[in-house]
Structure 1
């Protein structure tokens, strides 16, 4: 994990506004959200695993599934997950366990982030700052 200090940290926004601005740029709400916190994820690459920029947030007035909820942005970071080897080996039609095993945890949830993508991650954060934060 590589943290990226940002002007976004500590800023509060309406959740609806963030979704409207960030989803067209390629961000999606990460699958790890809960009623009081979550993240926007931007997939950078998916070669031998996946690398993404994660922009965490927490609810400040209400729950995330409520209308007009405001959220506060945390420190963005780059994260890499490495896939488990062999999950799709010997899968047969009708194999019940194949439908379960495909959702196993990554082999390495905090894999080394590729150097060639670090500058892209920083540029993505700068782009968000330009769009979301008034100077």
Structure 2
């Protein structure tokens, strides 16, 4: 394995809420979120990079298509439980000759291998703060 991947689930009021995907994009992209490259026709992720000093830390907001598919204009999605994603990549080269940092950038979107590993409290706190901002955007008055 090129690095360790860990996650910390976060409680959120947006979990299980349903939105048109374009609304989520219009609200979240100006806040720095990007749609992760590891998506398919049924599910995807909004990622916000928190830090990348030897370990990539992201606030990840998963979503699933409930009406249409993700390549369909006007698709409606359900938000799943947000979490902090930490990916510690190894420096060096792998068997294919790809640099570890490059491979780490690709692997950061894979499913975590060890969900029970510790993520520093600092990043959990930052992720919760960003998530509160998202809740204010998506759930006005809450």
Which bracket does the TM-score occupy, shorter chain normalised?
0.7 to 0.9
2:26 paired with 1:20: yes
Alignment of 1:2-41 (within 5 A): 2-41=8-47
**Corresponding residue SS for 1:41:** strand
Q: Using CA pairs below 8 Å that are at least 6 residues apart, which structure has the higher relative contact order?
A: 2
Shift of 1:73: 0.2
Unaligned runs of 5+ in 1: 89-95
Distance 1:65 1:40 in 2: 16
Alignment of 1:1-135 (within 5 A): 1-87=7-93, 97-98=97-98, 102-103=102-103, 105=107, 110=114, 112-135=118-141
Contact residue 82 and residue 109 of structure 1 kept, 8 A: no
Distance 1:100 1:119 in 2: 28
Give the 4+ runs in structure 1 shifted more than 3 A.
96-102, 108-112
Larger radius of gyration: 1
- Mean Cα deviation higher: 54-63 or 108-117: 108-117
Shift of 1:16: 0.6
In structure 2, the partner of 1:93 is none
RMSD across aligned positions (CA)? 2.4
Distance 1:109 1:45 in 2: 20
